[in-house]
Amino acid sequence: MTTAVYPGSFDPVTLGHLDLVERACRIFDRVVVAVSNNSSKKHTFSVAERIAMLENAVRAIPQAEVDTFSGLLVDYLKHQKATTVIRGLRAVSDLDYEFQMASMNRRLYPKVETVFLMPDEQYTYLSSSMVKEVARMGAPLDGIVAPFVARKLRLKFKTPVSR
């Protein structure tokens, strides 16, 4: 059974993230979507809120499960008995950072391989930061996050939907 870990902040989970989970599940037997618990970063949603949104989002994908981790990703990989990291590449601008992270992970844990997946082209511009900015301004979130995530964003930012 092959296990891959898809780490991230998922603050919030977008349809681009879900697209990558579905793609990874076509390749691997088990995909752990691992929410990073990094207290030095300022998140819009708590770890518990992010986990709940992800669990709701992936409940129809049998090979996907949601977990959380703190500390080094390679330590979490060892704990999960996984040697594959899933990362998404939206544009060439993502490559430099992702290459550095993949190289450091391999240095710390030589068995690890990073698999880069490209999302569907409709999600190549999409980031959690952009979603939060759009939500703050009250713009429609259709087609970029699931409806339940859109509701959470509206409640968090106290914004109605503008048309």
Q: Check if 128 is active-site.
A: yes
Q: Which residues of 9-148 form beta strands (DSSP E)?
A: 30-36, 64-69, 84-88, 113-117
Q: Check if 90 is active-site.
A: yes
Tokens encoding 66: 């949601």
- Whole-angstrom Cα distance, residue 6 to residue 4? 7
Of 26, 41, 158, 163, the active-site residue reads 41
Beta carbons of 67 and 32 less than 8 angstroms apart: yes
Of 43, 50, 128, 152, the active-site residue reads 128
Place of tokens 């301004």: 137
CA angle 17–103–122, rounded 5-degree value: 25
Of 9, 17, 36, 87, the active-site residue reads 17
User: Quick one: DSSP state of residue 82?
Assistant: -
Residue among 58, 62, 109 nearest 85 (CA): 109
Of 90, 106, 132, 154, the active-site residue reads 90
Q: What amino acid positions are annotated as catalytic residues?
A: 17, 41, 90, 128
